[in-house]
Amino acid sequence: MEIDLTKGKPIHVEATYTCWLGFDLSDLDIDWAEVEGVWCKYGTFTIVMKDGTEHDVEYSTEGESDYKWPVDLKIFNKEYDELYSE
């Protein structure tokens, strides 16, 4: 591990963790060949059909974040320059 101290003193650390949401699509009667696109925002999974129709699905299961090991770890100086990334 090597922190780049040439850019200044470390003052801020960001640790990024993951969690998951599950979406049950089994009750949807959708012709998947007619799907234009999908996205997920604020816990809602949206399916957009080629005709412009949208189907919003709320999450049905919620996972827990595992805080043992972050998926990303960064250290920054006071100007928010990155000094270390893992």
Domain span holding position 70? 1-19+64-86
Is residue 36 domain-shared with residue 56, that is, in the same domain? Answer: yes
Average pLDDT value for residue range 5-22: 94
One domain for residues 71 and 53: no
Identify the band that residue 80 occupies on the pLDDT scale cut at 50, 70 and 90.
very high
Interatomic CA distance for residues 4 and 81, integer angstroms: 10
Q: Same domain, yes or no, for 52 and 69?
A: no
How much is the average pLDDT of 38-51? 97
In this structure, the answer to whether residues 84 and 70 fall within a common structural domain is yes
pLDDT of residue 1: 79
Q: Full-prediction pTM beyond 0.75?
A: no
| CA dihedral of 52, 24, 57, 53, whole degrees rounded to 10 | 10
In the chain, how many domains are there? 2
Q: For 77-85, what is the mean pLDDT? A: 95
Query: How many angstroms separate the CA atoms of 30 and 25, rounded?
Result: 9
Is residue 55 domain-shared with residue 68, that is, in the same domain?
no
